[in-house]
């Protein structure tokens, strides 16, 4: 009975996708073993592929069918593609808060949801067809069931990438107000410095939102970012060290000043191992910018002392642990120093002083109440 | 006549080729037998500065390779330090096998660290696909093999709590 129901549901999904004018595929981390099949499905449907924040880098962002990461801190094009779509095929994601725009991004759309675990299927978003089972088998069966293939150019090629809603940070305004490196520029500097084969472990920090918004990764660059489900601050240092050891590739740990203080003892492990091509970039912006933003997004006042402080001098801290380190206050110096450090035969910590007042992508539109008197310096 | 070896040596030898070569650990009084056995099985020990770090490094190893990572810590406080990584591995589907060395005080398996606290496995069970106290030496090789297999197939964390006397008892190799 279960097998018949599974087959019936996959056929129903195929029928809906055949009739869709603008289908889009949203991929979460649970789909990692089915990515080749999903790429084939996207070509067959002429559909764009978006990834959830936790699945960024699972699909080559230079691929012609890539539409980027959705939804938290999503670039304008990704938001425009989702806004213009009529059917969303969500695969391997639980459509959590960050993957679904707080549950509102797919209103008035037909949602098809494929997962391997019944617990993955969204209960907060109306789903037209839900299929639970092995994702590779499900996608393969769906591919074979789709008989009618759209002709002409892919529909998403015509989508205008203009911002759909909400204010986005502009580089000009950031520079004008800057008391440190512009976050957007810092992420672009990191992107430029990353080798074509590399790993990035990004902590739960406001830097993550800039990464989601501004960074395009190549096919051999993988990002570890677990902001959607576990959201464990301070986890990127240890995890990044493990990734560096297993991959033997140049690895950047991008971690906030608060996050680093939650688990900085592993700096000593890195120093003791003497492991090269391992760089910790501290996103030093004077406290919990992401938490501050999230609390404000709930319409709550944020006393400055709860999430804002003078950041420690991490270059000194790192030296105490035995690491080479430096403090960086300009984009150019960050790009240059990181490129050098990623070739060094020893671990390096870069304390990057980031403008604490710079806007955070994806956050402004969610503000309910903003008390500017409590903002950090 | 079949040779006898310690239960943990037999167990480690069975799984050594199925897990990441680097085993992360924080040594302590109750887990030395486990990490020595890992070393004898050809695995490489990485001593981190905290159980929190050991488990996270193991998480990174497993995420990169898709193979289970062994993390070895002591009972209660060591296990509790690893909880954040167990949670991350659970919700993000990363194969992680946490081995904790338990005391051999009377009733230790039932009473956690022997101080009448709860067993560490009761704390980890909501986060793990399988969380178990291994109370018999004969069971240990099979339990560890099952743990590695489950972690790999289910992409979930597993926790085995192993008393010192169980790890060191001799079983048929």
Min distance A272 CA to chain B CA atoms (Å)? 10
Nearest-Cα residue of chain B relative to residue A239: B60
Average pLDDT estimate for A360-369: 54
Q: What is the pLDDT of residues A28-86, one digit of tens each?
A: 988 988 999 999 999 999 999 999 988 998 999 889 999 999 887 788 889 999 999 99
**ipTM field:** 0.93
Average pLDDT estimate for A305-312: 82
Cβ of A235 and B57 within 8 Å? no
A124 pLDDT exceeds 90?
A: no
Residue A247 has its nearest CB partner, among B49, B50, B64, at B64
Count of pairs with CB atoms under 8 A, one residue in A, one in B = 101
Q: What is the pTM of this model?
A: 0.86
Got the DSSP string for B70-89? EEEEESHHHHHHTHHHHHHH
Cβ of B91 and A229 within 8 Å? yes
Which chain B residues contact residue A54 at CB under 8 A? 92
Quote the pLDDT of residue A254.
Answer: 97
Nearest-Cα residue of chain B relative to residue A120: B91
Nearest to A136 by CA among A10, A306, A236: A10
Cis-peptide, bond into residue A240, ω within 30° of zero: no
Helices of type H across A146-223? 171-177, 183-193, 206-214
Contact residues, A window 11-40, toward B, CB-based 8 Å cutoff? 29-30
Spatial separation of the C-alpha atoms in residues A257 and B144, rounded to whole Å: 39
Please, are residues A122 and A94 in contact by the beta-carbon 8 Å criterion?
yes
Which chain B residues contact residue A224 at CB under 8 A? 60, 63
Longest dimension (CA), chain B: 47
Cβ of A54 and B46 within 8 Å? no
DSSP-derived letter for residue A215 is -
Cβ of A246 and B65 within 8 Å? yes
B22 pLDDT exceeds 60?
A: yes
Residue A226 has its nearest CB partner, among B58, B64, B88, at B88
Given CB atoms, is B86 within the 8 Å cutoff of chain A? no
Which chain A residues contact residue B55 at CB under 8 A? 238
Q: Write the CB contacts of A327 (distance below 8 Å, at least 6 apart in sequence).
A: A313, A314, A315, A350, A351, A353
Under the banding of pLDDT at 50, 70 and 90, the label for residue A321 is very high
Given CB atoms, is B83 within the 8 Å cutoff of chain A? no
A175 pLDDT exceeds 50?
A: no
Nearest-Cα residue of chain A relative to residue B59: A239
């Amino acid at each position: 009975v279960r097998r018949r129901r599974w087959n019936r549901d996959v056929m129903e999904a195929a029928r809906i996708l055949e009739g869709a004018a603008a289908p889009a595929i949203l991929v979460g981390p649970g789909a990692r073993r089915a990515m080749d099949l999903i790429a084939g499905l996207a070509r067959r449907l002429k559909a764009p592929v978006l990834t959830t924040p936790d699945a960024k880098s699972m699909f080559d962002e230079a691929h012609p069918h890539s539409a980027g990461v959705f939804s938290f801190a999503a670039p304008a094009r990704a938001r425009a593609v989702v806004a213009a779509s009529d059917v969303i095929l969500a695969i391997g994601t639980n459509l959590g808060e960050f993957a679904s725009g707080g549950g509102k991004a797919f209103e008035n759309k037909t949602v098809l949801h494929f997962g391997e675990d019944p617990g993955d299927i969204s209960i907060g978003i109306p789903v037209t067809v839900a299929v639970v089972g092995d994702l590779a088998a499900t996608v393969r069966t769906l591919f074979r069931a789709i008989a009618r293939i759209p002709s002409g150019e892919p529909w998403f090629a015509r989508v205008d990438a203009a911002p759909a809603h909400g204010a986005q940070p502009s580089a000009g305004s950031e520079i004008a107000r800057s008391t440190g490196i512009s976050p957007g520029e810092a992420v672009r500097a990191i992107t430029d410095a990353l080798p074509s084969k590399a790993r990035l472990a990004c902590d739960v920090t406001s830097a993550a939102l800039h990464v989601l918004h501004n960074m395009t990764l190549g096919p051999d660059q993988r990002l570890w970012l677990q902001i959607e489900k576990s959201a464990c601050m301070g986890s990127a240092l240890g995890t990044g060290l493990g990734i560096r050891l297993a991959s033997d590739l140049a690895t950047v740990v991008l971690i906030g000043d608060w996050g680093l203080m939650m688990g900085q003892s592993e700096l000593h492990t890195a120093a003791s191992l003497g492991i090269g091509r391992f760089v910790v970039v501290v996103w030093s912006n004077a406290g919990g910018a992401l938490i501050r933003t999230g609390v404000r997004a709930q319409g709550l006042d944020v006393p400055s002392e709860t999430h804002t402080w003078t950041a420690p001098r991490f270059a000194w801290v790192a030296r105490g642990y035995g690491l080479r380190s430096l403090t960086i206050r300009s984009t150019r110096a960050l790009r240059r120093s990181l490129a050098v450090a990623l070739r060094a035969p020893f671990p390096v910590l870069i304390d990057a002083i980031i403008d604490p007042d710079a806007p955070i992508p994806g956050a402004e539109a969610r503000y309910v109440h903003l008390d500017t008197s409590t903002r950090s310096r | 006549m079949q040779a006898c070896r310690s239960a943990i040596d037999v167990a480690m030898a069975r799984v050594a080729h199925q897990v990441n070569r680097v085993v992360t650990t924080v040594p302590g009084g109750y887990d030395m037998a486990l990490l020595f056995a890992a070393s004898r099985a050809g695995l490489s020990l990485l001593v981190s500065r905290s159980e929190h770090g050991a488990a996270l490094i193991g998480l990174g190893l497993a995420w990169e390779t898709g193979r289970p990572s062994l993390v070895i810590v002591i009972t209660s406080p060591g296990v509790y330090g690893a909880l954040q990584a167990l949670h991350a591995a659970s919700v993000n589907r990363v194969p992680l096998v946490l081995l904790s060395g338990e005391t051999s005080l009377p009733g230790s398996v039932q009473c956690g660290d022997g101080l009448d606290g709860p067993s560490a496995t009761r704390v980890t069970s909501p986060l793990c696909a399988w969380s178990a106290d291994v109370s018999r030496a004969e069971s240990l090789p099979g339990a560890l093999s099952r743990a590695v297999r489950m972690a790999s197939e289910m992409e979930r964390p597993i926790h085995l709590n192993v008393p010192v006397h169980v790890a060191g008892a001799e079983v048929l190799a």
